[in-house]
Amino acid sequence: MKLTLEDKQRAFAELAAVKAGLAAKGWFPATSGNLSVRVGEFDPQAFTFAITASGKDKSVQTPEDFLLVNESGQPTDDTKLKPSAETLIHCEIYRLTGAGAIFHVHTVFNNLASELFWERGSIPVEGVELIKAFNIWDEDALIDIPILPNYADIPRIAELVEGVLTPRIPGIVLRKHGIYAWGANAFEAKRHLEAFEFLFEYVCRWHELKARG
């Protein structure tokens, strides 16, 4: 399927709106984080997505905030822009899940939660109402959010993604780095991201309260 200019503009506009909302929450400190939305039909072997350009201040909107890349993370158009350094992780999540959007942010609480439960390998959350944001309706549901090591070599991280994916948990945390959350579309991915961030703050604050006795 050949993408049209309208497809590209629609994807960029969608990312711009999400970027503005998340930037207002302070979730992109020091140009960190990255956002992407898949464009066009999905084939695990060949797909295209729009992603944030590397090194941009995400609290500011410019005409050069996004670019299109293929399933290997390579730009599909002639451009001076570089995709996010973590584009390969997006590629792998799209390939394995068929998601429509992936959002990645760095926050204090997702960093703290990843360190608190690093040795366990996942962040446990039990019985909190916002678990329902993932369409998990079990009473007193227990979920485990996977944690991966934060290697400097991004391909090393990407190759570990498949081994920790859990179908009902649309997210992966990198240790002392941040969360990748995804969904069928941008609306769902944002809902999942906000739910994860609420749960991380809950877990950290509850851990602190228990430590005080």
104 marked as binding residue: yes
Residue 206: count other Cβ atoms within 10 Å of its Cβ: 12
φ/ψ of residue 199, rounded to 5 = -65, -40
Can you tell me the distance from the alpha carbon of 212 to that of 23, in angstroms, rounded to the nearest whole number? 33
Can you tell me the distance from the alpha carbon of 98 to that of 100, in angstroms, rounded to the nearest whole number? 7
Can you tell me the distance from the alpha carbon of 163 to that of 156, in angstroms, rounded to the nearest whole number? 12
Three-state secondary structure call for residue 180: strand
**158, 97 contact by CB (below 8 A):** no
Can you tell me the distance from the alpha carbon of 117 to that of 115, in angstroms, rounded to the nearest whole number? 5
Q: Which residues pair with 48 in a beta bridge?
A: 39, 70
Can you tell me the distance from the alpha carbon of 169 to that of 183, in angstroms, rounded to the nearest whole number? 10
Can you tell me the distance from the alpha carbon of 112 to that of 181, in angstroms, rounded to the nearest whole number? 17
**43, 84 contact by CB (below 8 A):** no
Q: Which residues are annotated as a binding site?
A: 104, 106
Q: Which residues are annotated as a binding site for Zn(2+)?
A: 104, 106
